[in-house]
Structure 1
Amino acid sequence: METNDITGTIVDAAMKVHTTLGPGLLESAYEACLTYELRDRGLNVQSQVGLPVVYGEIHIDVGYRVDLLVEKSVIVELKAVTALLAIHEAQLLSYLRLSGCHVGLLLNFHVPRLKDGIKRIINGHGILPSPRGRS
């Protein structure tokens, strides 16, 4: 499956979760439901994946966790906040660099319309519009 197909499937599944649950719940509820939706669509999904910091020749386990790792190639960070901040985008970009993954999605479920809470981030290329013209 191509990366754009994976991210498109993730966005579609997230839209379904958001339409069903609405805004205002805890991040953990959205994570569990999105994990279910993605697995139901045949994707390999790991949740709360440990991510060590590699500095020189040492690996430092400092407790960083990726919310979802989809098909071992796309990192999904979930938020349930009033507004996405630059620090949220920087966090995902750092996770992409540390993991070696190329693409990440930042999904904020605490918005009236989920399409307003989606950011697609590319490792080494900054922030790009999400798939299908959604940003």
Structure 2
Amino acid sequence: MNLDQLTYKVNGCAMKVHNTLGNGFQEVIYQRCLAIELGNAGISFQREEPQTIYYEGIDVGTRRADFIIEDCVIVELKALINLEDVHLAQAKNYVVAYNKPIGLLINFGSTSLQFKKIYNPKYNQQIKQSHNLVNPDSDK
């Protein structure tokens, strides 16, 4: 499965959650429901995997991305009326810090599901065009 196919499947899972619940719930409710849908779709993931933040070589704390999908896609969820630039910046920082090629910012808080794809600038520009294979040795 390539990155484009994987992000499409994740978006489909998020759409099912949003269509079922609508907006108005806390983010953690959407996280739990999305975990159920990802599992039902056979998509492997980790939830809230900690990432240590260093400043000049000194550990200054940790952050946690909501999901790491198939060890290659960061998913950050929000439950806000509107996404702002700061939320996109946070998602981009997660993609870079976790060293993954792509991230998804999904907002369940608006009446329509909001979905943004974020590319890691450290990866080759070709990822945007070719969507290199995810787990190329896998039988999926």
Task: Indicate the percent of aligned positions where both proteins have the same amino acid.
Answer: 36
Matches of 1:80 and 1:67, distance apart in 2: 13
| Aligned partner letter, 2:115 | I
Change (3 A) 1:29 1:55: same
Q: CA RMSD in A?
A: 1.7
Matches of 1:102 and 1:59, distance apart in 2: 26
Aligned to 2:49: 49
Matches of 1:68 and 1:79, distance apart in 2: 12
User: Residue 54 of structure 2 contacts residue 61 of structure 2 at CA under 8 Å; is this kept in 1?
Assistant: no
**What does 1:20-39 correspond to in 2, within 5 Å?**
20-39=20-39
Aligned to 2:120: 123
Matches of 2:33 and 2:58, distance apart in 1: 32
> Residue by residue, what CA displacement relative to the aligned partner does 1:14-67 show, whole Å, maximum 9, x if unpaired?
0000000000000000000101101111111111110112456x3626130000
| Aligned partner letter, 1:16 | K
User: Residue 51 of structure 1 contacts residue 61 of structure 1 at CA under 8 Å; is this kept in 2?
Assistant: no
* Deviating 4+ runs (over 3 angstroms): none
User: Residue 79 of structure 2 contacts residue 108 of structure 2 at CA under 8 Å; is this kept in 1?
Assistant: yes
| Aligned partner letter, 2:100 | C
State the secondary structure of the residue aligned to 2:68: strand
Matching of residue 90 in structure 1 with residue 89 in structure 2: yes
Normalised by the length of structure 1, the TM-score is: 0.85
Uncovered stretches (5+) of structure 2, i.e. residues with no partner: 123-127, 129-140
Normalised by the length of structure 2, the TM-score is: 0.82
State the secondary structure of the residue aligned to 1:52: strand
Matches of 1:82 and 1:28, distance apart in 2: 16
Matches of 2:9 and 2:90, distance apart in 1: 23
| Aligned partner letter, 2:107 | N
